[in-house]
Amino acid sequence: MISPVAFRGRAAPLIGSPQAAAVERGTRRFSSHRAEAVAEYPDFDAMRRQAREIRLHTLSHLGHYLGEFAANCEAAGGRMHWAGDAEEAVSIICGLVGSRRLAVKAKSMVTEEIELNHGLEAAGVEVVETDLGEFIAQLAGERPSHIIAPVLHKTAVEIGLLFADKLGSPNTSDSSELNQIARRHLRRIFLEADVGISGVNLGVASTGSIVTVTNEGNGRLVTTLPRVHIAVMGMERLVPGIAELGVVLEVLARSATGQRLSAYTNLVTGPRQPGEADGPDELHIVVVDNGRSQLLGGPLEEILACIRCGACLNVCPVFKQVGGHAYGSVYSGPVGAVFAPAVFGLDEHGDLPFASTLCGACKEVCPIGIDIPRMLLELRRRSAELGIHPRWLEFGLDTFSRAASLPSLWSAGGSSLTGFLRMRAIDGWVESLPGPAGDWTMARALGAPPKKRFQARWRRRGKG
Amino acid sequence: MAVVQLFATCLVDWLAPQVGDATVMVLEKAGCTVAVPAGQTCCGQPAYNAGLEPQARRMAAHTLDVLDGTQGPVVVPSGSCADMLIHHLPELMAGDEKYEPMALRVAARVRELTAFLVDDLGVHDLEAASPGKAVFHPSCHGLRNLGLRQQPLTLLDGVEGLELVSQEGREECCGFGGLFSLELPEMSEAILNAKLDSIEDCHPDQLIGVDVSCLLHMAGGLHRRGSAIQVRHIAEVLGG
Amino acid sequence: MEKAEFIGRLPRAQEPATAPPTHLPRFEQVDSIVQFAARLRSVDGHDHGPVRPDQVAGLVHDLVEAAELEAFVCWNDVERYGVVARLESAGARRVSGDLGSDDGGRKQRLGALAGRVAGITGADAGLVESGSIVLRSGPGRPRSASLLAETHIVILPVVRLFRSLPHYLAQHPGAVGGISNLVVVTGPSRTGDIEQQLTLGVHGPQALHVVLVS
């Protein structure tokens, strides 16, 4: 069982680092672009309400829509595969890749989640990430730090040095030169690759289509050039039909980057059809559960409605200070603080629901209006039941609650505590406190409380 | 004028009693007769936000025992505690034969101070004066859970001599977060510093807020910076 | 896991479902052509025209020449504007977008498409609100023409302008039927992955031209 302060150990060293400063700049920029896009739209809230209704409806009938999606995908010549957990998903995909040796990949959270690259590499397959940010993260041997901007934490100078070291390119920190270096390098790999592996932003039940939303075009290359395309899809990613897809796409890019639409909104329905010039000869869709289905019908179901735009990360005061690495999970920020413990368990991620001030900014910007604070509280309750809090805290709050239900004890306790604070105060300020309370004074001073509490003043006034 | 019940909150009671006095003054200026229900302690929010449900329920039950027997609006000079009383107590007591109906009754009567003044009483100008430049911090729970966006600004607008300037990222969290401020102090401090930077950039004479909790946290940070900015609850400004 | 087992575990798996009705966004009245062009420019695309059908071939030729490209891949649809003849007579070489079915040949043909090539396509729709174009795959319509090419030139009749993606999809519920790919292209390929500096042409075309035809 993890302590709720485990997050502290990962986050504290990142605070104030150059990486954190880059995250702060990046998230601020995303947020202001989002705000502009939302302000320009005639009635964004009306679209959000529709998008929410669509996603919640889909989740409450997920079995039905998965069945419909599978039938339509197969009718278009695609093949469906069903994975109960990460291990099964990796083994299915390794089986599909078979003896092919080079795979190109488009950015996908679910493949990160199931640690697919690790599994494929162990099977002797070379896997190349092709999203520029993911490619950089892979070269650096790091995990992505943001849902839609994987190397938000890295500077151009660092990336230039990394390219020079790993690709033998001339050292530069010019982002467009770095981009060209990556383009040339990856083009060669794209043309050679035998398998393309992508995630799925959304699946359309009524047509069996899968939708990927990208800006770079790598998502299209991965799903078009290699002979075999394997799409890995979290089981919750569906919309009922094309009209519903239109609504959800209307809020997705605007919330993510402030774009009206991303550069490429790509719908794939089956493999290359008879008579078509190009496209893959085989399309496989691997549907992954890996802990998701246990949320259906329960108080945490709503987190599955997430469309992975990352807007909640960009407004989260906690995320903005440190970026995604502090979360110790593929899914970070407010959505990750619910998704990771809910789906993968409190044992491993029980600290994340506490990594929030409950300010509610996440819920305010979510294009689906997901009530993240409510679910953080639900997970805190479950964690507390498992005895996750440090003993001093639980003991402290228990004592506090007993005193608070007994006014005489409350008076006595409050008097002696405030008296103690006054005693330690110098010129009206308490600068240090012993024990766990020292964590308060470590971060800020505490104004010394006045001698008479409000209720005493009030009673005195009544007499006077 | 009808009687209003003042639920002062535990932080005001013990750490900022002057805010309680000022709230009484403001309510009386607005024509109310103020009562302070005896035996009030804490609404239970600290335990609730920690996930410690039995402890939260214990405090909530006591608070309901204190408030349910009274009449008229229950006014709270804190968006966060008002949110707890309005939204979370009914949730916490759901299914409890005795306390659920009490929680629903009380929730229907609870008002945050500025919402009560502006929305219920239609008061915009309390004839207060407070010369100088000020920034306002809208605390998150009041802002997002109770929709308190305009009410405090409307009231501050009526204060003579007060020049209100908007700091960058005004609606962003100050990093207090209750328990959060103790469990993740470095993070809390980092968020606080970002907030204080944007406030100091405005060179205000005072920082005005609607929640003593966030204000204690920000005042403690400003003190560490050697800042001369005065930190005041909105009731102190309106009562003056 | 088998499909039946996977789905069977889920709540209400056997119940039918009817999706809630959707409502189209309501935008202000605008001049479609002017707005489309402005929005296309805002995503770093280039608009041309509207021109008469007989002016298309000349315009496309000028664009290919200006980009100093000597080869092109195109959709069969655009032949009706005389584009192929015009380019070939100017010495440009047409590359086939058909990958064939043998694996070895596939990679070789892809290589030819990935060089300094212009991609010339028609479009099924233009989206006024976002400055996007909609491309549906099909026989004679290679996906790579809008993907591997260095410069992508789109020929779009103005009668195919729709207000937004939801409007287009609502009017064409069968838009994805029978074809493997429908792509909505909004400006040239772009990334902000390095310090959020906008860079064009990371994987897909580095330039996007839309020739509007009246």
Q: Supply A241's token pair.
A: 């039909």
The model's confidence at residue C195, banded by pLDDT at 50, 70 and 90, is: confident
What is the dihedral sign for C-alpha A241, A247, A253, A255? negative
**Shortest CA gap A117–chain C (Å):** 21
For residue C115, the model assigns a pLDDT of 82
pLDDT tops 80 at residue A464: no
Angle at B103 between CA B99 and CA B107, to 5 degrees: 175
Give the nearest partner residue to C169 out of A26, A155, A243, using CB atoms: A243
Integer CA distances (angstroms), C200 to A176, C179, C193, in order: 8, 29, 11
- Give phi and psi for A263, each to the nearest 5: -60, -40
pLDDT band at A4 (very low <50, low <70, confident <90, very high): low
CA distances for A126 relative to A104, A119, A122, A224, C203, angstroms: 8, 11, 9, 19, 20
The residue of chain C nearest to residue A212, with distances taken between CA atoms, is C183
Give whole-number Cα distances, B227 to A226, B15, B168, B204, B231, in Å.
Answer: 63, 21, 18, 10, 10
Average pLDDT, chain A: 94
Contacting residues for A9 by C-beta, under 8 A, at least 6 apart: none
Q: Do B183 and A393 make contact, defined as CB atoms within 8 angstroms?
A: yes
User: Is C100 an interface residue toward A (CB < 8 Å)?
Assistant: no
Mark residue C121 as left, alpha or beta (left: phi above 0; alpha: psi -120 to 50; beta: remaining): beta
| Contacts with A29 from chain C: Cβ below 8 Å | 196
Q: Is A222 on the interface with C (CB under 8 A)?
A: no
Helix (H, G, I), strand (E, B) or coil at A365: helix
Angle CA(A454)–CA(A456)–CA(A459) in degrees, nearest 5?
A: 110
AA letter at A135 = F
Instruction: Grade residue A152 by pLDDT with cuts at 50, 70 and 90.
Output: confident
What is the spatial distance between Cα B8 and Cα B16, in angstroms, rounded to a whole number?
Answer: 10
Residue B183 to residue A440, Cβ atoms within 8 A = no
CA atoms within 13 A on the CB side of A128: 21
Q: At residue C101, does pLDDT exceed 80?
A: no
Distance in angstroms (rounded) separating the CA atoms of residues A208 and A68:
8
Sorting pLDDT into bands at 50, 70 and 90, what band is A461? confident
Note the pLDDT of residue A18.
87
Whether the per-residue pLDDT at A273 is higher than 70: the answer is yes
**Per residue in A292-315, pLDDT tens?**
999 999 999 999 999 999 999 999
Residue A1 has pLDDT above 70, yes or no: no
Check if A157 contacts C (Cβ < 8 Å).
Answer: no
pLDDT at B1: 64
Report the gap between the CA of A201 and the closest CA in chain C (Å): 14
Q: Is the ipTM of this complex over 0.95?
A: yes
Residue type, A325: H
Q: Do A453 and B14 touch (CB under 8 A)?
A: yes
Q: Where are the beta strands (DSSP E) in A161-308?
A: 195-198, 202-204, 209-214, 228-234, 238-239, 264-268, 282-288
| pLDDT value for A22 | 87
pLDDT tier at C43 (50, 70, 90 boundaries)?
very high
β-sheet bridge partners, residue C133: C126, C185
Kindly report which listed range (A230-239, C95-104, C110-119, C192-201) carries the lowest average pLDDT score.
C95-104
User: Do B183 and A352 touch, CB atoms closer than 8 A?
Assistant: no
Helix (H) or strand (E) holding B35: strand B33-35
- DSSP 8-class letter at A355: S
Alpha helices in A61-151 (DSSP H): 62-75, 86-97, 109-113, 116-122, 132-140
Distance between CA atoms of residues C57 and A382, nearest Å: 68
Q: Cβ separation of A64 and C12 shorter than 8 Å? A: yes
Say if C104 is an interface residue toward chain A (CB within 8 Å).
Answer: no
Question: If you ran DSSP here, which 8-state letter would residue A340 be given?
Answer: I
Interface mutation target, options B27, B41, B207, B236, chain A, most CBs of A under 10 Å: B41
Residue A373's identity, in one-letter code, is P
Residue C119, Cβ neighbours under 10 Å: how many? 28
d(CA A176, CA A167): 16
Size of chain C, expressed as the number of residues it contains: 214
Residue ranges for chain B with pLDDT beneath 70 = 1
Residues B192 and A443: beta-carbon distance below 8 Å: yes
- Stated pTM of the model: 0.96
The pLDDT assigned to C117 comes to 94
Place of tokens 């009673």: A459
* C156 vs C192 pLDDT, higher one: C156
Strand order in the sheet with B74-76: B33-35, B3-6, B74-76, B110-112
Confidence of residue A450 (pLDDT cuts 50, 70, 90): very high
Instruction: Spell out which residues of chain B touch residue A8, defining contact as CB-CB under 8 Å.
Output: 183-184, 186-187
Q: Alpha-carbon Rg of chain A, whole angstroms?
A: 26
Q: How many CB atoms lie within 10 A of CB A42?
A: 10
How sure is the predictor about C108, in pLDDT bands with cuts at 50, 70 and 90? Answer: confident
pLDDT at residue number B93? 98
* Coil vs helix vs strand at A175: helix
- CA triplet C33, C36, C37: central angle to 5 degrees? 85
> Tens of pLDDT along C59-86?
999 999 999 999 999 999 999 999 999 9
Place of tokens 């939260």: B56
CA–CA gap between residue A370 and residue C111 (Å, rounded): 46
Strand partners, B233: B209
pLDDT at A349: 94
- Are residues A201 and A308 in contact, defined by beta-carbon separation less than 8 angstroms? yes
Cβ-Cβ contacts under 8 Å for A154 (sequence gap 6 or more): A19, A22, A136, A140, C194
Determine the length of chain A.
464
